[in-house]
Amino acid sequence: MVEGLALLTEAAEQVALSRMLRSFRPDLAIWPVSDIEELRSIDASVLRNARLVAFASGIIVPADLLARFGRGAYNFHPGPPNYPGWAPAHFALYDRVETFGVTFHAMAERVDSGAILDVVSFPIPQGCTIMRLGELAYAHLLQLFEVWAEALACETLLMPRCALSWSGRTNTRRSYRQACDIPLDISRDELWRRMRAFGGNHYGIAPAINLHGVTFRASPPETT
């Protein structure tokens, strides 16, 4: 039986997701955490029958912490299996793909490599912006959490509902910075691809050109 659950997510989601879980198990002990320090502060003796659930979190949980959770560790990833790692929506928009999705999977020592339990896919609307794609992914991720909330709160063992595997390159913050490093001989098409996907100064990283030791940061043109 699952006796407790560590919920790794931002403060804005902690209340709503906890309420959803407790609707199935009012007695479930839930420890809302937002970083590794808070996660380590949970008494290790209570984790033998506890589960870790991460929701749209950028925190990488070390292997020693994952091993403490006797009922498994799971993550709701805001991207499909072919976009593991960091900022999946940005890289998908850059690649001009037509579909996107969200993934529920077991957590492992290597980021986004654990067994996949469920995936939801959806088409990317024509002319979709990065903000809109992020909103769509978040909405589908929340729906996926709703589907799995009862099992997470009540079931000792979770069974996969699909047979998909991870694929593609695992993107990182470094990958994102490299995409924002604009070469002087860039083509017009490539420049606009990068501006569309990475041009909003998300994560404090903006496309930039370095010329004679001086860095020029780009910003998207204003629209009317």
Question: Which domain CATH number covers 90?
Answer: 3.40.50.170
Asked if 36 and 82 count as a contact pair (C-beta separation under 8 A), the reply is no
Amino acid at 125: P
Question: Same domain for 17 and 91?
Answer: yes
Note the pLDDT tens digit of each residue in 86-103. 999 999 999 999 999 999
Query: If DSSP codes are grouped into helix, strand and coil, which group holds residue 46?
Result: helix
Q: How much of the chain exceeds pLDDT 90, in percent?
A: 88
Range of the domain at 184: 180-217
In a domain, 26, yes or no: yes
- The answer, yes or no, to whether residue 219 has pLDDT greater than 90, is no
Asked if 198 and 179 count as a contact pair (C-beta separation under 8 A), the reply is yes
Question: Same domain for 125 and 201?
Answer: no
In a domain, 95, yes or no: yes
Q: Is 146 exposed, middle or buried (0-12, 13-18, 19+ CB in 10 A)?
A: exposed
What is the predicted pLDDT for the residue at 213?
84
Q: What average pLDDT does range 75-85 have in this prediction?
A: 97
Question: Same domain for 110 and 186?
Answer: no
Number of domains in the chain: 2
- The answer, yes or no, to whether residue 22 has pLDDT greater than 50, is yes
Note the pLDDT tens digit of each residue in 160-215. 999 999 999 999 999 999 999 999 999 999 999 999 999 888 889 999 998 888 88
Name the token pair of 209. Answer: 């050109």
Question: Same domain for 72 and 21?
Answer: yes
- The answer, yes or no, to whether residue 221 has pLDDT greater than 70, is no
Angle, alpha carbons 57-116-29 (nearest 5°)? 55
Q: What average pLDDT does range 128-137 have in this prediction?
A: 96
